[in-house]
Amino acid sequence: MATLDGIGRSMAGQHPSLKWAYLLIAAALMIEMVVFIVGITVGVLANDYYSNTKGLRDAGEAGLLSDLGTIQAIPAWLEPLKFLGVATFFAGISVVLAIIIKTLQTRGQAMELALPQILGTRASATSEEA
């Protein structure tokens, strides 16, 4: 069984896994920022492509065909990257929730060990006053 001093030492400072949670959440935000920037770039490229007339697009100029290929190819890897960013974010949240559960369990143990001492000192203090 743990002692009150041992639990107190284990509660001092941050939980070691909290750094991993910060890392996962920061990585998820960076992935989503990259996806956002690439999505805006593809939107601008699509605007450039579709601002031309249908006749020019069907004629198949070299620059327009390259733009069309890029517009069609990027979603093939952009969608999984979006999913990876969201999954990484949820992994970071899961680590944080696991840390919260562990911290609550440890604090419960500390209270279980400290409560008899707290009640014992209060009981003796009230008996001395009477």
Residue 114 lies in a domain: yes
CA distance 32 to 84: 9
Q: Structural domain tally of the chain?
A: 1
Residue 8 lies in a domain: no
**What string of pLDDT tens digits covers the 130 residues of the chain?**
567 666 666 666 677 888 999 999 999 999 999 999 999 999 999 898 888 888 887 787 777 888 888 888 998 999 999 999 999 999 999 999 999 998 888 888 888 888 888 888 755 555 555 5
Residue 51 lies in a domain: yes
Name residues whose C-beta falls within 8 Å of residue 49's C-beta, 6 or more positions apart in sequence.
57, 64, 67, 68, 71
Residue 31 lies in a domain: yes
Q: Is the pTM of this model over 0.85?
A: no
